[in-house]
């Protein structure tokens, strides 16, 4: 076999060093395995062949002695001795490989040289993946943008070396191509008049006209067989990428982590009615289970939101006028049984979730955007936002090389406004959705409603102490202070003032969300507050009711067959318990107290605290 290595010297006009190529991804917050799964899947999707389903798989292999020797003999010919760690990987055993493959794709077609350009619509996939850095996207509504993500294949390899085996259509026939690629470190070699600098990029193939070309057809298939790759079927196209000496510390565990990463970042492709993509992961021939997003909490909640996108809410930018996309949200109970993940995988988010999965047209998860959490820890919500296709390209340009965010500062003018406004609208909607009074309890997840009464205590609403004002409101998003008027609701008119005066008898500061606790050994929700001011003889009262809708409409009666919510008493800063319906304010100004409330199961409880003056 005639393959050999070629190390790229810096051209006279300058070029990019290998270190610069490797750093194109920056410092993503995701693990390398997650980035690899995301980038590889998105590349495969962009290369899909028409409407056919794409088959994607990642196979981990530990070579036997015979295979390792054959690979070493193949790749050690003219092996670069500078800036590359491949030799030690081939000599030390056992050699491991990670094989990332897709079928139902077009393969890496087009010219094999970067200095040749076909007609405008001709593919340049081979050049974009093997030769160039920063090749612009040529697929409408594609997942990739400027081709930096391919560097993750090299970063996952301790040897910084991959082998690319691909089959594509050239004119009216198919052509098979195989080439080795490495991105090490830049280096210099002595020459008669000084030193010659090299970029640190290397290719293994056949040298023709100053460039290393891929092996073709039968010769390519023969070399692929050395690596244990299955040959392509007669009319089959696609690509297999061999990552040499991958960073597998605990191989079986790490392969499980890759399977989990596929689910968390590509679940929309797994639930498509048309089976858009099919996935497989193996380690040494043994199949690795890929979590089913429809049976894996909390992802199942995102799936439910995704399926309701067609009837979701439209988000708009008003100046300049533009539809930004669709938002769908779904509430659910936190399930007691949570998935068990391998030690090398940490899910992007954990229950209870309060996040929205951001999507573009390719329907891969860009990121999970957090919103305001629901009160308590027994309910959660998941949402999906899909950017409008008319500005999909804008969101694509807002993505960093790892495609895991929308960064408005990368844009200018109205495009920056659209992305910024998207985040603003999402924040507004999630804040409103997380309002306590909007929560509905659904008896699912295997938790009996009666037995879960204490758990449901977290699903409550707190209303400000409106006193004599009509209606019932809701605690502000950052807490706050409220005045008790002591007149039309609950008495207290006069309150030590002249007859007919409307001077409020006191003021209460509500101190954030309720917390789980007990009062006289009874599970309760504790509503913290501070008495800021009170006239002599004033008391604090709690108006407890069932909230029946998102406008905080209230009912005194609980659902049929259920006990209504009730005030148990008051808990002081030193543990003092006051077992009465009213708390005397005298001597307690400035102290932090809590109203202990037993909520009704399967309801939302509204609690209004108020200062009541003397009769």
With respect to residue 310, please indicate whether it lies within any of the assigned structural domains: yes
Which of 371-375, 387-391, 487-491, 506-510 is the most confident on average? 387-391
470 confidence band (pLDDT: 50, 70, 90): very low
Q: What pLDDT, in 10s, does the model give residues 243-301?
A: 999 999 899 999 999 999 999 999 999 986 655 899 999 999 999 999 999 999 999 99
Mind giving me the DSSP string for 222-237? HHHHHTTPPPPPTT--
Instruction: Please identify which residue in the block is written with the tokens 């209870």.
Output: 352
With respect to residue 273, please indicate whether it lies within any of the assigned structural domains: no
| Rounded Cα–Cα distance for residues 571 and 594 (Å) | 5
With respect to residue 242, please indicate whether it lies within any of the assigned structural domains: no
pLDDT for the residue numbered 602: 56
| Rounded Cα–Cα distance for residues 70 and 72 (Å) | 5
Q: How many domains does the chain contain in total?
A: 3
With respect to residue 335, please indicate whether it lies within any of the assigned structural domains: yes
With respect to residue 52, please indicate whether it lies within any of the assigned structural domains: no
489 and 375 assigned to the same domain:
no
pLDDT for the residue numbered 107: 94
pLDDT for the residue numbered 615: 52
pLDDT for the residue numbered 458: 36
Q: What pLDDT, in 10s, does the model give residues 345-382?
A: 999 998 899 999 999 988 999 999 999 998 877 889 99
With respect to residue 322, please indicate whether it lies within any of the assigned structural domains: yes
**In the predicted structure, residue 435 carries a pLDDT above the cut 70:** yes
Which of 250-254, 478-482, 541-545 is the most confident on average? 250-254
Q: What pLDDT, in 10s, does the model give residues 295-314?
A: 999 999 999 999 999 999 99
461 and 597 assigned to the same domain:
yes
Residue after which a domain boundary falls, among 207, 233, 259: 233
With respect to residue 266, please indicate whether it lies within any of the assigned structural domains: no
Tell me the pTM. Answer: 0.70
Instruction: Please identify which residue in the block is written with the tokens 């008493």.
Output: 569
177 and 130 assigned to the same domain:
yes
479 and 584 assigned to the same domain:
yes
**In the predicted structure, residue 487 carries a pLDDT above the cut 60:** no
Alpha helices in 313-452 (DSSP H): 392-397, 413-433
Distances (CA, A) of 394 to 358, 367, 408, 507: 14, 16, 10, 50
Helix, strand counts (H, E) of the chain: 12, 29
Among residues 186, 188, 205, the alpha carbon closest in space to that of 197 is found at 188
Residue after which a domain boundary falls, among 371, 402, 434: 434
331 and 397 assigned to the same domain:
yes
560 and 505 assigned to the same domain:
yes
Instruction: Write the CB contacts of 535 (distance below 8 Å, at least 6 apart in sequence).
Output: 495, 496, 497, 505, 506, 613, 614
| Rounded Cα–Cα distance for residues 271 and 276 (Å) | 8
425 and 458 assigned to the same domain:
no
316 and 421 assigned to the same domain:
yes
Residue after which a domain boundary falls, among 434, 463, 485: 434
With respect to residue 180, please indicate whether it lies within any of the assigned structural domains: yes
409 and 311 assigned to the same domain:
yes
Domain extent at residue 130: 4-43+75-89+106-158+171-233
468 and 528 assigned to the same domain:
yes
140 and 17 assigned to the same domain:
yes
Buried b (16+ CB within 10 A) or exposed e, 27-48: ebebbebbbbbbbbbbbbbbbb
408 and 476 assigned to the same domain:
no
């Amino acid at each position: 076999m005639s393959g050999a290595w070629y190390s790229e010297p810096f051209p006279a006009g300058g070029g990019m060093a290998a270190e610069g190529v490797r750093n194109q991804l920056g410092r993503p917050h995701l693990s390398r395995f997650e980035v690899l799964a995301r980038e590889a899947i998105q590349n495969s999707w962009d290369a899909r062949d028409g409407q056919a389903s794409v088959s994607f798989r990642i196979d981990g292999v530990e070579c036997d002695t015979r295979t390792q020797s054959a690979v070493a003999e193949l790749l050690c010919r003219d092996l670069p001795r500078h800036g590359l760690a491949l030799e030690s990987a081939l000599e030390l055993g056992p050699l491991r490989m990670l094989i990332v493959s897709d079928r139902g794709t077009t393969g890496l077609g087009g010219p094999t040289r970067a200095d040749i350009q076909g007609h405008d619509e001709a593919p340049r996939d081979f050049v974009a993946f093997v030769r160039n850095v920063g090749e612009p996207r040529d697929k409408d509504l594609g997942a990739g943008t400027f081709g930096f993500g391919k560097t993750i294949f090299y970063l996952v390899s301790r040897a910084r070396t991959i082998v690319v085996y691909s089959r594509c259509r050239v004119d009216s026939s198919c052509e098979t191509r195989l080439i080795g690629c490495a991105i090490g470190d830049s280096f210099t070699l002595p020459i008669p008049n000084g030193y010659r600098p090299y970029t640190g990029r290397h290719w293994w193939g056949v040298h023709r006209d100053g460039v290393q070309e891929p092996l073709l057809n039968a010769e390519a298939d023969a070399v692929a067989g050395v690596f244990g790759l299955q040959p392509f079927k007669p009319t089959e196209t696609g690509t297999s990428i061999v990552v040499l000496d991958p960073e597998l510390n605990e191989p079986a565990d790490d392969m499980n982590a890759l399977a989990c990463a596929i689910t968390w970042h590509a679940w929309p492709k797994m639930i498509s009615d048309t089976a858009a993509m099919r996935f497989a992961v193996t380690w040494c021939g043994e199949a690795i289970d890929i979590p089913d997003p429809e049976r894996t909490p909390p992802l199942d909640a995102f799936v439910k939101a995704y399926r309701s996108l067609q009837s979701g809410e439209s988000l708009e930018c008003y100046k300049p006028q533009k539809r930004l996309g669709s938002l769908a949200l779904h509430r659910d109970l936190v399930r007691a049984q949570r998935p068990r993940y391998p030690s090398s995988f940490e899910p992007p988010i954990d229950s209870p979730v309060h996040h929205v999965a951001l999507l573009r047209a390719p329907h891969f998860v860009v990121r999970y955007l957090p919103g305001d959490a629901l009160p308590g820890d027994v309910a959660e919500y998941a949402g999906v936002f899909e950017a409008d296709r008319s500005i999909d390209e804008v969101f694509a340009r807002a993505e960093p090389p790892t495609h895991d965010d929308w960064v408005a500062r990368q844009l200018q003018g109205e495009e920056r406004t659209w992305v910024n406004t998207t985040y603003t609208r999402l924040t507004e909607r999630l804040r409103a959705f997380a309002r306590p009074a909007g929560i509905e309890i659904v008896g699912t997840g295997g938790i009996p409603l009666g037995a879960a009464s204490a758990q449901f205590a977290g699903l409550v609403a707190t209303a400000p102490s409106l006193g004599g004002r009509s209606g019932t409101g809701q605690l502000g998003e950052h807490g706050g202070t409220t005045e008790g008027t002591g007149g039309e609701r609950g008495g207290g008119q006069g309150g030590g003032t002249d007859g007919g005066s409307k001077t409020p008898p006191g003021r209460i500061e509500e101190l954030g969300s309720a917390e789980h606790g007990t009062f006289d050994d009874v599970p309760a929700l504790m509503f913290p507050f501070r008495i800021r001011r009170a006239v002599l003889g004033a008391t604090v009262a709690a108006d407890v009711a069932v909230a029946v809708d998102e406008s905080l409409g209230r009912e005194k009666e609980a659902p049929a067959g259920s006990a209504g919510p009730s005030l148990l008493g008051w808990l002081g800063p030193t543990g003092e318990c006051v077992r009465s319906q009213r708390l005397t304010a005298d001597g307690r100004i400035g102290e932090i107290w809590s109203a202990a409330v037993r909520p009704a199961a399967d309801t939302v409880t509204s609690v209004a605290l108020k200062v009541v003056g003397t009769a």
